[in-house]
């Protein structure tokens, strides 16, 4: 490809060897010093550009070359519009932006992709690469590190809040809003004013809140433009939000989770009342189950104790004092077990009734209100 100085015109050269020909272009921006070099001053285009359907072509006039010799011939030598920039992307360099430029194709011709060389005035500034640029379109290029500008990017603590809640057929639908912010603080330590472009990553599902509108948006990044005076600093705060819905099945949800949503200010009153009733019923059911399991534990402890007593009874006389005590204790324990078994049956039936009533209440619960 041709090589592109950033100082005023755009040109290209084609190399020819025998009957083979190559085309290229050379671009210049408008960031000249007091006496800029004009790389195209002694070059005139010997080709013309034209569209061919959806494509384009460069037509080169008659050129004669000796066999086994090659030459570079100019293809495009038109001026293009160039804006000098400092381009900051934290994923590229965390502290410094890149020297760059916005190149607009004002030639009316299609410019091919390829490497370019950037000149600032008469000095070499760096190398870059540019994509295909159809007429009227723009491209960003970067060609070196801007050591005169320092940028500090800090992420803020993400905020998560509940903004709405409804109950539909026993399912609590909670709307949450997540807010994330990032601050870019830039300082220009140079002696010349600069234009800073900040590239902020586009995240799927997130909406830009602040600033309200970027300079431009691509598939990958938002771009924001800030004037950065010589010896001065500038701050840019980018805020994004994401709103999503969370489903909470009331029957399967933990009581602490339901109590948390019941205390949330954004949850409507009717929803809170249902949640409070579900919590109350869940707690009553849990207490019944606890009492039943406590009695089952008691039965298990007594049964284990009976095994020990029966083993002792095998070694003593049943008609003796100690044997009689064991028999009396076993009889009392049997009476206690019978009582506990009756209470377990009663508590099991009660728990089953409470569970059915809870399920019915939850399934019939429908509260759709605005917070």
Domain locations along the chain? 10-80+107-141, 152-249, 269-363
Averaged confidence pLDDT in the chain: 84
Query: 82: pLDDT confidence band, cut at 50, 70 and 90?
Result: very high
Query: 5: pLDDT confidence band, cut at 50, 70 and 90?
Result: very low
Chain segment 130-153, per-residue pLDDT in tens? 889 999 999 999 999 999 999 999
Say if residue 135 is exposed, middle or buried (CB neighbours under 10 Å; 0-12, 13-18, 19+). Answer: middle
Query: 243: pLDDT confidence band, cut at 50, 70 and 90?
Result: very high
Average pLDDT rounded to a whole number, residues 49-62: 66
Is the Cβ–Cβ distance between 198 and 221 less than 8 Å?
Answer: no
pLDDT of residue 367: 86
CA–CA gap between residue 29 and residue 83 (Å, rounded): 7
Peptide bond between residue 370 and the one before it cis (omega within 30 degrees of 0):
no
* For residue 304, pLDDT beyond 50: yes
- Residue 317 token pair: 């006389």
More confident residue, 363 or 63: 363
Q: What is the pTM of this model?
A: 0.68
Average pLDDT rounded to a whole number, residues 158-183: 91
């Amino acid at each position: 490809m041709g090589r592109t100085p950033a100082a005023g015109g755009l040109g290209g050269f084609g190399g020819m060897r025998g009957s083979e020909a190559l085309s290229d272009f050379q671009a210049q921006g408008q960031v000249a010093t007091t006496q800029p070099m004009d790389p195209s001053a002694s070059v005139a285009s010997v080709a013309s550009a034209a569209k061919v359907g959806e494509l384009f072509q460069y037509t080169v006039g008659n050129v004669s070359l000796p066999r086994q010799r090659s030459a570079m011939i100019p293809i495009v030598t038109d001026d293009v519009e160039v804006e000098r920039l400092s381009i900051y992307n934290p994923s590229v360099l965390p502290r410094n932006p890149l020297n760059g430029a916005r190149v607009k194709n004002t030639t009316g011709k299609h410019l091919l992709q390829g490497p370019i060389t950037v000149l600032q005035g008469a000095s070499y500034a760096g190398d870059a690469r540019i994509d295909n640029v159809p007429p009227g379109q723009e491209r960003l290029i970067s060609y070196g590190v801007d050591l005169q500008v320092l940028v500090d990017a800090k992420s803020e603590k993400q905020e998560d809040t509940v903004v709405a809640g409804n109950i539909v057929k026993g399912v609590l639908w909670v709307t949450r809003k997540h807010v994330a912010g990032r601050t870019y603080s830039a300082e220009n330590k140079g002696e010349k004013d600069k234009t800073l472009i900040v590239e902020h990553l586009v995240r799927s599902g997130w909406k830009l809140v602040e600033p309200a509108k970027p300079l431009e948006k691509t598939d990958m990044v938002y771009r924001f433009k800030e004037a950065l005076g010589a010896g001065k600093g500038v701050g840019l705060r980018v805020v994004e939000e994401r709103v999503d819905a969370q489903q909470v099945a009331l029957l399967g949800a933990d009581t602490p989770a339901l109590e948390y949503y019941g205390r949330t200010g954004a949850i409507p009153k009717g929803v809170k009342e249902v949640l409070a009733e579900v919590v109350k019923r869940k707690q009553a059911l849990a207490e019944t189950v606890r009492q039943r399991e406590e009695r089952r534990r008691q039965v298990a402890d007594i049964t284990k104790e009976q095994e020990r007593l029966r083993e002792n009874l095998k070694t003593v006389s049943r008609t003796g004092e100690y044997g009689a005590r064991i028999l009396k204790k076993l009889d009392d324990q049997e009476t206690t077990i019978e009582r506990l078994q009756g209470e377990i049956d009663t508590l099991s039936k009660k728990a089953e009734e409470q569970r059915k009533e809870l399920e019915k209440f939850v399934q019939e619960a429908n509260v759709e209100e605005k917070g």
